[in-house]
Amino acid sequence: MTSILKTIELYDTTLRDGTQGEHINLSVQDKLLIARKLDEFGMDYIEGGWPSSNPKDEEFFTKARLLDLKHAKLTSFGSTARFVDKVESDPNLLGLLHSETPVITIFGKTWKAHSMKSLGISDQENADLIYRSVAFLKKEGRKVFFDAEHFFDGYKDDREFALSMLRAAAEGGASRIVLCDTNGGSLPHEVADIVAQVLTATGLPVGIHSHNDGDLAIANSIAAVMAGATHIQGTINGIGERCGNANLISIIPNIMLKLQGSFTFVQHLNQLTSLSKFVYEILNMPSNTRAPFVGKSAFAHKGGIHVSAVMKESSLYEHIDPKLVGNHQRVLVSELAGQSNIRYKAQELGIVLPEKSDLYKNIVHHIKELEHEGYQFDGAEASFELLLHKELGNFKPFFEVLETKVHIESGKDAKNVDQAVLKVKVGDEIEHIAADGDGPVNALDKALRKALLHFYPEIKSIKLVDYKVRVLEEKRGTSAKVRVLIESSNGRYTWGTVGVSTNIIEASLHALQDSMNYHLFTLKASAPAT
């Protein structure tokens, strides 16, 4: 088995390169919160931003001085000086020094086409810019990392030029030489070969900074490490400019679990999933359910044959134990389910099903019929749990909706307020309730709560946190069925329910009813016996 003997440095650039991604925006407070979390996880370096580029990053570095970081060293980022004869008065370099970070990362041109066409300078002038910029920052007592911008493209274009720029940075006193695949177009075998050649030609410690334009940033980063690189730059969840940066969330477990590699401070790999979710939450973005290692679907099993095997030996269909990265195994219930899925889910939910009966077969048959109608229980496990309890005779709905009417306002003079009228039966009592809402589903939700609150005040804590509509059989147009998935929360945990109908209001009502019933049922089940 291949293993990495050297300790690898982790350099996180979520707060700088990550924020260059489309729809990515972080406040100063957001950046401070993420910096603390990255430090807790065990990053070696946290790149906070480019202090000379915007007021927000300047404010961040001012406030970040108060962060009590346990492991990580805060790093500021910028470019080399603009003019060779004005290095010591260069606003960018002075801004980097003013950030007061112990480490400064600067990038310089290592692709000859860029120095000629973008900067309009000679090879020697470019080398001087790099050397003098690094030396100036080094003289001021800072540890300097040099990001060799466009290095792989530059190396393939003019090897000697690219290497001479690295030597200039090293002679200036750079502590790390980071090879950047800035356009993200390199292949793993190219990266491995070039990293090995750089190590042989220069003898310098090498880092890797990959972009994901070819969907290879993770593979390229690992290839660089396999070739001898000891420093990896990337972002949490792979956020970043264009197609993103190398995703540290996938790189870290691959190196630790597959290559037996180690990082300086990462001790608790089981915090990986929570770190990924934390950053998504701060970004106000939904988590990537299909993300390797940490996604909700990463260890989810749907096919009956797979589930049967997983129950006997999880490694048959799982490349690692999900607990190692803070994730967990899930078994989905669908039209592909077999009796093993039902048995697993029942055990997971703490529901005891009789072994010697036709119950499993009946449940599987019932689920397949429902899914044929359009139901889906992958994201509606609360509806599935109620179905199980109903089959066992343990569950009886807490209420019954007898009548439903929804009035939708439209037209030029409409008030944009819709109204739902419900007749709801609880025990022997009937409530006739009306409620206004922002849209028919919101009105329906409000009316149902209003009708039940008198009988079940505990539903007050329920909040609808997500609502999805999927049109089934699209070719049928407006007569097609719709599937409504609802996610609800009581502040402590969330649950999903589902409804299907050719009428979106009816489908929504079914999902809402399941949500209310599930909450009331779980409260009743957890209440102490009297």
What is the rounded average pLDDT of the residues 181-196?
98
pLDDT of 496: 87
At 76-114, the pLDDT tens digits run 999 999 998 899 999 999 999 999 999 999 999 999 988
Pair 224, 192: CB distance under 8 Å: yes
pLDDT for the residue numbered 352: 73
Per-residue confidence band for 300, with pLDDT thresholds at 50, 70 and 90:
confident
Say how far apart CA 281 and CA 295 lie, in whole Å: 14
Q: What is the per-residue DSSP string for 330-384? A: EE--STT--HHHHHHHHHHHT----SSSSHHHHHHHHHHHHHHHT---TT-HHHH
- For the segment(s) 374-391+460-530, the CATH number from 3.60.21.10, 3.40.720.10, 3.30.160.340, 1.20.1250.20 is 3.30.160.340
- pLDDT greater than 70 at residue 315: no
Average pLDDT of the segment spanning 335-346:
59
Cβ neighbors of 489 (< 8 A, separation 6 or more) are 462, 463, 465, 495
Which residues, 6 or more positions from 186, have their beta carbon under 8 angstroms from its beta carbon?
A: 152, 153, 210, 214, 216, 220
Please choose, from the candidates 19, 86, 90, the residue with its C-alpha nearest in 3D space to the C-alpha of residue 50.
19
Element spanning 77, H or E: strand 73-79
**Helix (H) or strand (E) run with residue 176 in it:** strand 176-181
Instruction: Take residue 359 and report the two structure tokens written for it.
Output: 């119950």
- Give the range among 210-219, 243-252, 294-303, 490-499 with minimum mean pLDDT: 294-303
Spatial distance between the Cα atoms of 304 and 357, rounded to a whole number of angstroms: 19
399-455: CATH topology is Double Stranded RNA Binding Domain (3.30.160)
Q: Token digits for 420?
A: 């739902």
515 token code pair: 């949500």
Indicate whether 58 pLDDT > 60: yes
pLDDT tens for 373-420 read 877 776 678 888 898 888 888 889 999 999 999 988 766 565 667 899
Residues 273-278, mean pLDDT to the nearest whole number: 90
pLDDT of 158 > 60? The answer is yes
Lowest mean pLDDT among 50-59, 61-70, 350-359: 350-359
Q: Which two tokens stand for residue 505?
A: 């209001």
What local confidence, expressed as pLDDT, does residue 526 receive? 66
Q: Which fold has domain 11-282?
A: TIM Barrel (3.20.20)
In this chain, the answer to whether the domains covering 374-391+460-530 and 399-455 adopt an identical fold is: yes
Mean pLDDT of 339-361: 68
Average pLDDT over residues 424-436: 93
Percent of the chain at pLDDT > 70 equals: 88
Pick from 32-41, 276-285, 297-306 the range whose average pLDDT is largest. 32-41
CA distance 142 to 240: 27
Identity of the amino acid at 429: E
For the stretch 462-507, pLDDT in tens is 988 888 888 876 566 666 788 888 889 888 888 889 899 988 899 9
pLDDT reading at 313 higher than 70? no
SS3 readout for 266-320: CCCHHHHHHHHHHHHHHCCCCCCCCCCCCCCCCCEECCHHHHHHHHHCHHHCCCC
The H-or-E segment that residue 93 falls in is helix 91-98
Residues 199-219: tens digit of each pLDDT: 998 888 899 999 999 999 999
Extents of the domains making up the chain: 11-282, 300-368, 374-391+460-530, 399-455
Q: Please, which pLDDT band fits residue 336 given cuts at 50, 70 and 90?
A: very low
Whether pLDDT at 335 is above 50: no
Least confident of 188-192, 300-304, 427-431: 300-304
Predicted confidence at residue 358, as pLDDT, reads 73
Average pLDDT over residues 500-529: 87
Q: What does pLDDT average to over the chain?
A: 88
**Can you give the pLDDT at residue 67?**
92
What's the pLDDT at 329? 72
DSSP state of 118: I
Q: State which of 126-135, 363-372, 489-498 shows the largest mean pLDDT.
A: 126-135
